Amino acid sequence: MSILVFVENADGQVKKTSLEAVAYAAAISEDVIALAMGNNIDQSELEGLGKYGATKVLHADDEKLNQGIIQAYATVISKAMESTGADILVLANSSLGAPVSARVAIKTDASLVSNVVDLPDTSAGFKVKRSIYTGKAFANVELTKDKKILAIKKNAAEVKEADGSAAVEKFAADLADSEFDAKITNTDKATGEVLLPEAEIVVSGGRGLKGPENWGMIEELAKELGAATGCSKPVSDMEWRPHHEHVGQTGVKVSPQLYIAIGISGAIQHLAGVNSSKNIVVINKDPEAPFFKAADYGIVGDAFEVVPKLTEAIRAAK
């Protein structure tokens, strides 16, 4: 059984969520074919996909595919599925993967499941477990069509590196000019040493920090932890922090290994964006803050006293 995995990249490097998708596919089949697009990705990155379970990598080496035009990506993937005979497509449930997978499902008449969190159960049909209600519940979904598309939730698959190197082959999709009728005129990229959607650790601040001038201690703690910084919606609305750091239902949804919330009360809209985190630590001087009910660990105290001490303790432990 061949499985095709759509691999995303950023600045020439394969995204971790795509490595998870490759590892997930490798746990299902020994015949895993990765597909990468654009001419801005390092060859060594593609070959390195063999360490995570890919047996071969198809590279649509076309400069026009650098930007992520959704309809063009969907066409390339559909053609690659036909060329390889793959009946299953695996990809990350990302801001790019979600719309691309929907278009591929229409093009190939495939069953599509998003937010997949576990390997398929094939004992009686083909069923997968997916996260629903912003991570509050799970649903078991049966896929009945011949072709199947699985969009994997972040951190749903363990990435293990082994020995190996994948052979890279050029893949000519022969795209019509009409595939590029849509144009991306501007892109605002998140900045920082660690990008929020990819982060394993996130340190977020809320109105309890009293103003943008106090964000230095958030950034210092994040730097010691190798973490990304985030914030609550009121903070971004007041322009204390840029909008791309807004974590929540209407902002960025994160699933890090560790989420540290500092001076955030824990409104339901914020919790909807973070409740898939493996571990949540809350620091708040209000013992009745709703966030403590969702926390794995909580510290009742003044952030201006607790955070500097925590940062110093982490620095000393290093």
What CATH number is given to the structural domain containing 162? 3.40.50.620
Q: Is 284 annotated as a binding residue?
A: yes
pLDDT value at residue 189: 61
Q: Tell me, yes or no, whether 190 lies in a domain.
A: no
- CATH assignment at residue 255: 3.40.50.1220
Q: Is 269 annotated as a binding residue?
A: yes
Q: Tell me, yes or no, whether 267 lies in a domain.
A: yes
Q: Is 218 annotated as a binding residue?
A: no
Q: Is 80 annotated as a binding residue?
A: no
Q: Is 268 annotated as a binding residue?
A: yes
Q: Which residues, 6+ apart, have CB-to-CB distance to 102 below 8 Å? A: 112
pLDDT value at residue 151: 98
Same domain for 93 and 225: no
> Which of 133, 153, 180 is the C-terminal boundary of a domain?
180
Same domain for 17 and 159: yes
Q: Tell me, yes or no, whether 247 lies in a domain.
A: yes
Q: Is 95 annotated as a binding residue?
A: no
Answer whether 225's CB lies under 8 Å from 314's CB: yes
Same domain for 234 and 277: yes
Q: How many domains does the chain have?
A: 2
> Which of 124, 156, 180 is the C-terminal boundary of a domain?
180
Range of the domain at 36: 2-180
Block means of pLDDT (10 residues each) for the chain, 318 residues, are: 94 91 96 95 93 96 90 97 97 94 98 96 96 86 97 89 90 88 73 75 96 96 95 96 92 92 95 91 97 96 97 93
Q: Which residues, 6+ apart, have CB-to-CB distance to 109 below 8 Å? A: 145, 147
Q: Is 267 annotated as a binding residue?
A: yes
Q: Tell me, yes or no, whether 96 lies in a domain.
A: yes
Same domain for 173 and 202: no
Q: Tell me, yes or no, whether 241 lies in a domain.
A: yes
pLDDT value at residue 193: 61
Burial class (CB in 10 A: 0-12, 13-18, 19+), 44: exposed
How far is it, in rounded angstroms, from Cα 130 to Cα 233?
27
**Residue type, position 257, single letter:** Q
pLDDT value at residue 284: 97
pLDDT value at residue 258: 96
How far is it, in rounded angstroms, from Cα 229 to Cα 247?
10
Report the chain's C-alpha Rg in angstroms.
Answer: 21
Q: Tell me, yes or no, whether 287 lies in a domain.
A: yes
pTM, 2 dp: 0.81
Q: Is 270 annotated as a binding residue?
A: yes
Q: Is 94 annotated as a binding residue?
A: no
Same domain for 204 and 165: no
Same domain for 103 and 229: no
Element housing 152 (H / E): strand 148-152
Using alpha carbons, list the distances in angstroms from residue 234 to 5, 19, 263.
38, 34, 12
Q: Tell me, yes or no, whether 313 lies in a domain.
A: yes
